Structure 1
Amino acid sequence: MSPTSKSTSPLLTVENLTVDFLSDESPVRAVNAVSFDVSRGETLVILGESGSGKSVSTSAVMDLIDQPPGDIVSGRISFDGAPIGNLRGEPRRLINGQKIAMIFQDPLAYLNPVYTVGRQIVEIFACHGVASGKEARERSIELLRRVGIPEPDTRIDQYPHQFSGGQRQRVMIAMAIALKPDLLIADEPTTALDVSVQAQILDLLRDLQNETGMALILITHDLEVAASMADRVIVMNRGEIVEAGVARDVFTSPRHAYTKKLISALPHGDTAEGGNRRSTIPSGETVLKVENLTKEYLFSQGLFGKKQSFRAVNDVNFEIRKGETLGIVGESGSGKSSVARMLLRLTEPTAGRAIFAGEDIFSMNQARLLAFRRKVQMVFQDPYGSMNPRMSVHAIISEPWAIHGDILPQARWKDRVVELLELVGLNPEHVDRYPHQFSGGQRQRIAIARALASEPDLIICDEAVSALDVSIQAQIIDLLADLRTRLGLSYIFITHDLPIVRHFADRIVVMKQGEIVEDGSTSAIFANPVHPYTQSLLEATPVPKWMAVRAPRPTGRARDALTL
């Protein structure tokens, strides 16, 4: 059988898998009677939102569910025709790594920070008795070269923190394919990556599959990634499979209401089918004007090394008007978040001005800065990380009133907290709960309510929806758009997610290596990108597999028709 051919008999079969997790009250059913299979050379995508049971199902295949609290109630798992569900010890080690391997979502959490990446790859060969010493090191270098790590002879001796997010994911892929497994399970391997890095990782997985004929199970909540990779799709919701079939059929003619809801949540930019959530408020007076904003960092090589400078932001200029949304896009390290932090005076600039209400932000004294921060708020990417876990929702949302003192009498705080919760789509009974008692999407709504508490004119959203499921993303974007219309808010919307910014922003600036390389209206940027970097970002957007022409990818107006 050639590497690219697909076998007619399943390599992996999962039948009627049911998994519970024990709790103080009653068991929670995470997976209920799930059945699926995958053949050699085939890509099966398991699609669904957080908590749908995707990762639990494949963790059971790898025997990675801790028991207790996990409890595999029923089910049969077979690999290459033989049952593996009850394998433990040495028989299991002959399967995991050698026959079935897994790539996890967060490589930094699974790579040991105190060991070099080379040592961690060599360990795989040693543990399975495949190679050791110089041979294992040479194989590890070749693996790093194969997955696209530059200068692998040198970088093999570096530590995980010395690699970018995309490079760490490549290291994880190198470890997973070290023993040439027959099945590779990739659990959300591109969720936190920039669009261009995401495209590189997906292309790498395709190439490896074509070369080796391995089966691939890709777990994701990203519908565009799923459409670009899948031969077959299963859709999970609340622990159950609600739809399954050939990828094209599932995406173009979904049958189940949940699948239809997921697909309808995809942003469709300028297309008539999906419309957009751009501002309908005519641009009024300028809210913020940024002039020649620059940030340099000084560093030295070693304890006594010569001081050197790194320019993270270089001569950035833009303005934003009342009721307008300005999108700032670019890859990690492009300077997007540095701009946001400087605008809030969380980081001091090296040069430049930012004029708000006729006054330069960077010249404000502490009293003026406090008044400014009442009018400009920020919603961070990780709402859990930006909230005190010991504070209730009431305390979190009312904190701005305690700080500023003159916004609202304390006697009205509780009523106003309830009003804000209802405004962002949460219930009044949530007022006394704590952050850990909410989902990611609910916590982001709380963060938005807190930002609204000080009655701001401008909200800066720094990757505010990047980590959320597609339907939750749509809800948050709809919420932000509605608030913009009702309250006349302006937004600076920082993201690397191009479909979302196309759906929501009125104007876009594109940043690369600290500089703005292109700016203009959203329609103009997507229809006729001028700068090669902007073009490369648009070309990296996933294209449905049944429509894809691997090179060149369509750009501008040619992609408008490629909606799901």
Structure 2
Amino acid sequence: MNPSPILSVEGLTVDFLSDAAPLRAVDNVSFAVAPGETLCILGESGSGKSVSSSTILDILDCPPAEIVAGRIVFEGRDMGTLGPAERRDINGRRIAMIFQDPLAHLNPVYTVGWQICEVFETHGVCRGEEARRRAVELLGHVGIAEPASRMDQYPHEFSGGQRQRIMIAMAIALKPSLLIADEPTTALDVSVQAQILDLLRDLQREFGMALILITHDLEVAASMADRIVVMKAGKIVEQGPAREVFTAPQHDYTRKLMSALPAEPAAGADRRSKSERGETLLVVKGLTKTYELPKSMFGKARSLLAVEDVSFSVSQGETLGIVGESGSGKSTVARMLLRLNEPTAGQAFYRGQDIFALDPSEMLALRRKVQMVFQDPYGSMNPRMDVFTIISEPWLIHKDILPKAQWRARVAELLELVGLQPDCMGRHIHQFSGGQRQRIAIARALASDPELLVCDEAVSALDVSIQAQVIDLLADLRNRLGLSYIFITHDLPIVRHFADRIIVMRNGRIVESAPTESLFGSPKAEYTRMLLAAVPQPKWSR
């Protein structure tokens, strides 16, 4: 234990109440963090990382959660003895948190500027124009372009990575002494991830801020951590200095995690297709999307060119990777292919059918063959439905897929395919971790037996060991069923092991397209070289 910690967690034990016996989510967890120190908490989805951090801020729902034992001491004060007013003064001002799922934690009916200003106003720091000025500075500080004009936009008008940057701006607004970051770079591409990590380092140096970083990304942990805590099934299995844990892990589980660190493709690690390509499924020509923005204060019309002249094709059994910074147009391309957004110009043909000319009944038939796994699993599934209803919903829409008598058995099979237990089909989405929600989303996409799966950051919320399992699953389904993938990701090591070809996008345009090994071995575009150079390096080797 650090002799002078700013935060000390001692023997924390948390149960979740259920119809059966209580489920122990956190079991006798103890750790501490000192001013200016970075403590990284590693572990699989559901290991208790986020529950531990939520308990520190007193934002765990009780019930169904119950704090059975333990003590949390912050700046010498026992947090369990504080009243609501005292806790409210600490939360946000002295301890702040960056949540894993920005869309679920930003209010959709208020502009992002209003929500940042609220932080200053709630704590009585400043109001009005002064609050707005500081909010604009914060947005610019975390890398939002044109912050003054984007202040008045809503969360849905930003990409996933941009929403995460807005969350970070809100968290650092009052310069807290402890920042808890729950997967803060999950939705970010490597270049923006590098900027955010540099920003967190700068804030620590400037203010002596302590940082608890919860992450599944071993490279991020290695680049940031002074000390590491490794959790499994609610317990700490190992903790110590970061370099020792990474280079000489003592526990079997820690060794398993470290073995999942991305590396050069090797025998058994390459998950690219081994079979010959089949017929061409999808042909995209000159795809373009322009958004009309609200008029400026002088009445001048404005527009945003999100995607410009994008062309590519996908063959049966092929995996096409699309990489690029947040806001580069990757997700917009995917949404246009499923007609969730209508294009401004261009064509897309699926098995010779013009997607943009299909009537609603024809489009319904196409969506059975082309499915999407969205970046945000919580936002893409109905929280009122249980898991069984969510996964079986495609069979309700496409009645010829499967007889109703077989639904429950097939849902159980799909859950096992994505690494979940069949007995969880009666639970609701809020009862799962972020990574578990993403696996449910993948199971739902597979329910309609698609030919082409569009994966928009489908593994971004998963820890490295589960990432590998899901990629293995997708590769096995491709090889057995002839599935094709459009795989959108910011994780370059993952896409290197999985994609046959890669498209690199920037500012809505394709800057480079090449077979995977050619792109990684000899990238032609300067932007591609910058992306490859932005992969985090261990802290002890810098």
Structure 1 equivalent of residue 244 of structure 2: 249
The alpha-carbon distance between structure 1 residues 160 and 205, as it changes in their structure 2 partners (threshold 3 A), is farther
Structure 2 equivalent of residue 36 of structure 1: 31
Deviation, structure 1 residue 344: 3.0
Deviations along 1:273-325, one digit per CA (max 9) or x if unpaired, are: x7221111123433322222233344551799565554332222212222211
Match of 1:259 among 254, 259, 273: 254
Deviations along 1:13-52, one digit per CA (max 9) or x if unpaired, are: 2222223344454443332211112222221111223332
Deviation, structure 1 residue 397: 4.1
Structure 1 equivalent of residue 189 of structure 2: 194
- 1:508 corresponds to which letter in structure 2? I
Pick which of 212-221 and 107-116 moved more. 107-116
Pick which of 189-198 and 301-310 moved more. 301-310
Matched, 1:505 2:499: yes
Structure 1 equivalent of residue 485 of structure 2: 491
Alpha-carbon RMSD:
3.9
Deviations along 1:424-461, one digit per CA (max 9) or x if unpaired, are: 56667777877677766566555545544554432222
Structure 2 equivalent of residue 477 of structure 1: 471
**1:390-405 matches, cutoff 5 A:** 390=385, 393=388, 396-397=391-392, 399-400=394-395, 403=398, 405=400
Structure 2 equivalent of residue 116 of structure 1: 114
Structure 2 equivalent of residue 459 of structure 1: 453
Pick which of 417-426 and 55-64 moved more. 417-426
The alpha-carbon distance between structure 1 residues 303 and 438, as it changes in their structure 2 partners (threshold 3 A), is same
Structure 1 equivalent of residue 221 of structure 2: 226
Matched, 1:332 2:330: no
Unmatched 5+ stretches in structure 1: 1-6, 549-564
Match of 1:18 among 13, 20, 23: 13
Deviation, structure 1 residue 505: 0.4
Deviation, structure 1 residue 331: 2.5
Match of 1:208 among 203, 207, 212: 203
The alpha-carbon distance between structure 1 residues 104 and 455, as it changes in their structure 2 partners (threshold 3 A), is closer
- 1:43 corresponds to which letter in structure 2? T
Contact kept? 2:270, 2:497, Cα under 8 Å? yes
Structure 2 equivalent of residue 56 of structure 1: 51
Contact kept? 1:48, 1:237, Cα under 8 Å? yes
- 2:210 corresponds to which letter in structure 1? A
The alpha-carbon distance between structure 1 residues 493 and 107, as it changes in their structure 2 partners (threshold 3 A), is closer
Contact kept? 2:46, 2:432, Cα under 8 Å? no
Deviation, structure 1 residue 493: 1.2
Q: Secondary structure at the match of 1:393?
A: helix
Contact kept? 2:502, 2:513, Cα under 8 Å? yes
Contact kept? 1:116, 1:159, Cα under 8 Å? no
Rounded Cα–Cα distance in structure 2 between residues aligned with 1:140 and 1:300: 21
- 2:388 corresponds to which letter in structure 1? V
Contact kept? 2:37, 2:209, Cα under 8 Å? yes
Match of 2:348 among 351, 354, 366: 354
Q: Secondary structure at the match of 1:33?
A: strand
Matched, 1:294 2:288: yes
Q: Secondary structure at the match of 1:116?
A: helix
- 1:339 corresponds to which letter in structure 2? V
Contact kept? 1:61, 1:85, Cα under 8 Å? no
Deviations along 1:399-445, one digit per CA (max 9) or x if unpaired, are: 4586374x667777777666666665666777787767776656655
- 2:480 corresponds to which letter in structure 1? R
Contact kept? 2:387, 2:424, Cα under 8 Å? no
Q: Secondary structure at the match of 1:17?
A: strand
Pick which of 305-314 and 52-61 moved more. 305-314
Unmatched 5+ stretches in structure 2: none
Contact kept? 2:523, 2:529, Cα under 8 Å? yes
Match of 1:270 among 265, 275, 287: 265
The alpha-carbon distance between structure 1 residues 517 and 440, as it changes in their structure 2 partners (threshold 3 A), is same
- 1:54 corresponds to which letter in structure 2? K
Q: Secondary structure at the match of 1:73?
A: strand
Deviations along 1:376-405, one digit per CA (max 9) or x if unpaired, are: 333333456555654773784474586374
Deviation, structure 1 residue 479: 0.7
Rounded Cα–Cα distance in structure 2 between residues aligned with 1:151 and 1:414: 50
Structure 2 equivalent of residue 562 of structure 1: none
Q: Secondary structure at the match of 1:525?
A: helix
* Greater gyration radius: 1
Structure 2 equivalent of residue 560 of structure 1: none
**1:88-237 matches, cutoff 5 A:** 88=83, 92=87, 95-97=90-92, 99-107=94-102, 110=105, 113=110, 116-117=114-115, 119-123=117-121, 126=124, 154=148, 158=152, 161=155, 169=164, 172-237=167-232
Q: Secondary structure at the match of 1:10?
A: coil
Contact kept? 2:45, 2:436, Cα under 8 Å? no
Pick which of 432-441 and 262-271 moved more. 432-441
- 1:515 corresponds to which letter in structure 2? R
- 1:116 corresponds to which letter in structure 2? W
TM-score normalized by structure 1? Answer: 0.80
Rounded Cα–Cα distance in structure 1 between residues aligned with 2:507 and 2:246: 37
Q: Secondary structure at the match of 2:269?
A: coil
Deviation, structure 1 residue 547: 2.1
Rounded Cα–Cα distance in structure 2 between residues aligned with 1:427 and 1:75: 30
Deviations along 1:452-492, one digit per CA (max 9) or x if unpaired, are: 45544322222222223333222211111011111222211
The alpha-carbon distance between structure 1 residues 183 and 310, as it changes in their structure 2 partners (threshold 3 A), is closer
Deviation, structure 1 residue 210: 1.4
The alpha-carbon distance between structure 1 residues 41 and 503, as it changes in their structure 2 partners (threshold 3 A), is same
The alpha-carbon distance between structure 1 residues 269 and 124, as it changes in their structure 2 partners (threshold 3 A), is farther
Rounded Cα–Cα distance in structure 2 between residues aligned with 1:348 and 1:180: 42
Contact kept? 2:282, 2:313, Cα under 8 Å? yes
Deviations along 1:55-77, one digit per CA (max 9) or x if unpaired, are: 33233333444555544333233
Contact kept? 1:337, 1:462, Cα under 8 Å? yes
Structure 2 equivalent of residue 553 of structure 1: none
Match of 2:41 among 33, 37, 46: 46
Pick which of 531-540 and 422-431 moved more. 422-431
